[in-house]
Amino acid sequence: MAPIIIAALVSLLITGFFCYSITKVLDHIAEENRSIQPKMIWLLLIPGFNWIWNFVVATKLSLSIKKEMEARDFDVSGKPTFMQGILYAIISVISVIPSIMIRLSAKTPEELINATKAIPENLSIVIEVIGIIQIILFITYWSKISWYKNILENDEKKPNENN
């Protein structure tokens, strides 16, 4: 039981840092260009709900960045961070499907343990690959968010060209 609790706490900590990074991006976006408020990002910390909220954050963060970049006269094509965010949201939902199916098939704790032990090896490999893909997409998404934060931050530090 201790490894599960430790894993949950580590996951919560990482998600907390991720939420903090997103709020820092939104701090560099003018209020009128925000499609989501920074405090709403923290809803990603709610287990289960975050599977749905990831889609909202990916969409609204992308729109906010795009509006801000256009307001600052950057040439923006497409939706910044959107593809990375949506792919991460999709794989996050896919990654929990096997677990939900196992839990729904078991009526007692013993059946749950037996069902978990009885996962075929090829399905186990697929679950592990999905987990690795989820981690890669998460890192890619977070990196892209940080990249846009740096762009916005550095743009604010430029000396005023009108002087």
Distance CA 70, CA 86 (A): 22
Q: For the chain, how many structural domains are there in total?
A: 1
Give me the domain span that covers residue 153. 2-157
More confident residue, 8 or 66: 66
Please check whether residue 41 lies inside any domain of the structure. yes
- For residue 162, tell me if it sits in a domain: no
Mean pLDDT is highest, among 1-10, 141-150, 151-160, for 141-150
* pLDDT at position 81: 96
Helix H or strand E segment including 122: helix 121-157
Number of H helices, E strands in the chain: 6, 0
Write down the pLDDT at residue 159: 65
pTM over 0.75: yes
Instruction: Enter the tokens of residue 160.
Output: 């005023």
For residue 163, tell me if it sits in a domain: no
pLDDT tens column, 93-139: 999 888 788 777 778 888 777 777 777 777 788 889 999 999 999 99
Q: Which residue has the tokens 């910044």?
A: 80
Residues 76-97, mean pLDDT to the nearest whole number: 94
Dist CA 51 CA 102 (whole Å):
18
- Whether the Cβ atoms of residue 152 and residue 24 lie closer than 8 Å to each other: no
In a domain, 33, yes or no: yes
pLDDT at 113: 78
Q: Are 65 and 148 in contact (CB under 8 A)?
A: yes
Whether 151 is covered by a domain: the verdict is: yes
Which residues, 6 or more positions from 72, have their beta carbon under 8 angstroms from its beta carbon? Answer: 152, 155
